[in-house]
Structure 1
């Protein structure tokens, strides 16, 4: 019985691991695994690391904007000079 349970658990783990995960993040964004929401540059705060008194909760952000892009108020990654246009 013990061998049967171990076999079934192993089979379930293999099945779960083989399910593909969609790493698509949208235009101008890339999969990062997990990044802190406190360090994500946005149009409203392009340099979050220079905001020492900013209240921040730890939230896992999987998709981050590519280098040279900032997240706007709609959640899209845009060039810095396009921040005011949205």
Structure 2
């Protein structure tokens, strides 16, 4: 026989079964889906992103003329490693600090365009 009106601390439903106290518990385990997990490690000065736009990849050549980068992605492309803020991909494909690109940064290129 179970007395359902019996409550314990934290208002957890319970019942008394012929001299024993039975407390029901529920455990939820959260597991990230395989889509959210990083499929690979990124090199130094880079971080993983799930979706990227080809046009938004920043390189040292963008210091001379930065391409437009839409703020809302029209589509999602393959996951990738991208350069951290303040770093740009050089001609060898390595993310280097913007000061290591080998030429001066024009005044019209703002920090926000390098993100």
- Give the greater-gyration-radius structure (CA): 2
Are positions 1:80 and 2:91 aligned together? no
Which of 66, 69, 72 is residue 87 of structure 2 equivalent to? 69
**Is the 2:46–2:81 contact (alpha carbons within 8 Å) kept by the matching residues of 1?**
yes
RMSD after superposition: 2.7
Where in structure 2 are there 5+ consecutive unaligned residues? 1-33, 70-75, 104-115
What's the CA shift for 1:41? Answer: 1.1
**Structure 1 moving runs of 4+ over 6 Å:** none
Higher relative contact order (CA 8 A, sep 6+): 1
Q: Which has the higher helix share?
A: 1
Q: TM-score, normalising length from structure 2? A: 0.44
What's the CA shift for 1:21? Answer: 5.3
Q: TM-score, normalising length from structure 1? A: 0.56
Which of 27, 37, 41 is residue 24 of structure 1 equivalent to? 41
